[in-house]
Amino acid sequence: MPVGDPRQRRATMQQVAALAGVSLKTVSRVVNGEAGVSPEMTGRVQDAVQRLGYRHHHGASNLRSGRPTGLVGALVQDISNDFCAELLRAVEAATRERGQVVAVASLDDEPQRERAAVEGLIRRRCDGLILMPSGTDQSYLQAEVSAGLPIVAVDRPPGNIALDSVTSDNLGGARDATAHLLRQGHRRIACLVDDLGIMTATARRDGYLAALREAGVTVDTQLVVGGLRTDADAAATLTRLLAVPNPPTAVFAGRNTITLGAVRALRATDLSHTVALVGFDDVVAADLLDPPVTTIRQDAATEGRLAVEILLARLDGDPSPLFTEVLPTELVVRGSGEIPAPRSP
């Protein structure tokens, strides 16, 4: 069961009214900016709001009673991405058993979009959040966490704030992928990753570098490319790399969309059976491609299920220390990653 910092329930309007010594109606008028309340009473309410850390939300009946709304937010990077879709399906299945409703949104790795989505759910007084962080700073959530809102980070660790989290071993998985290619005799291995401002992309790049260092292979920085947001970006980048003198003989693709772009580039250059490929994240029908694609598999379903278990435990009042789970990854051998390095002339 999860472990986290002790957390109190979010302050209610009833608690504000009791501390201020006024009626619920008076509190409602003050927090909604309505007229008809004396400056003295307004000051008492505002002081109570500040002392309790009360946050005003939509849903007046729920605010008055302090009852949960049954709404859970699940914010991921892209609901159309295979990994995110599998994670969300697990979240929906687990919350359905509890009678919770899940509100889902895509963040597209945009920190401002993340903040807007979080704020929208908080205004509607969601019971808790499952969040795939964008960027490296989630400190803006501190007031809500301090006020008792349960938040669980998935896939990526949160930045500048302590939250429950469930992630994968991104560095270890990337190291395994690169070491697998090294065992096939490859020394010119391209590393294609997402925006290096994203923690998972950085960790996967670092795992690649660690494997090369452990094998005593000199890093060619020209073969390490970040900032690839789409499969088209990946295809164009790999096509360029394959055309330079002394091109890569193998590719580590740091995301499923990048893997698809690499497959397209290798097919377009007629190198699918010559250049080895290992991708991070499974891709749909990976076993049906030619050659079938070797990948590092993350357990998205377990990530989603554990995140919900932690969140529900928090909603039930579990005050234990922060829960931090790092799930292992799995190398799935299918064929593309087993293409041997070309023999030296």
**299: alpha, beta or left, given left = phi > 0 and alpha = psi -120 to 50?**
beta
> 299, 168 in Cβ contact below 8 A?
yes
Helix (H, G, I), strand (E, B) or coil at 271: coil
**Confidence (pLDDT) at 213:** 97
Q: Does residue 269 or residue 25 have the better pLDDT?
A: 269
Q: Which helix (H) or strand (E) holds 313?
A: helix 300-315
Please report, for residues 20, 180, 202, 233, 330, the alpha-carbon distance to residue 333 in angstroms, rounded to integers and kept in the order given.
Answer: 65, 10, 24, 26, 9
Write out the two tokens for 225. Answer: 């490319």
Cα 272 from chain centroid (whole Å): 31
Q: Does residue 64 or residue 156 have the better pLDDT?
A: 156
pLDDT digits 0-9 by tens, 203-222: 999 999 999 999 999 999 99
Q: What φ, ψ does residue 129 adopt, rounded to 5°? A: -130, 140
Cα 206 from chain centroid (whole Å): 18
Write out the two tokens for 185. Answer: 């005799």
> 201, 228 in Cβ contact below 8 A?
no
pTM, two decimals, is 0.80
d(CA 253, CA 201): 10
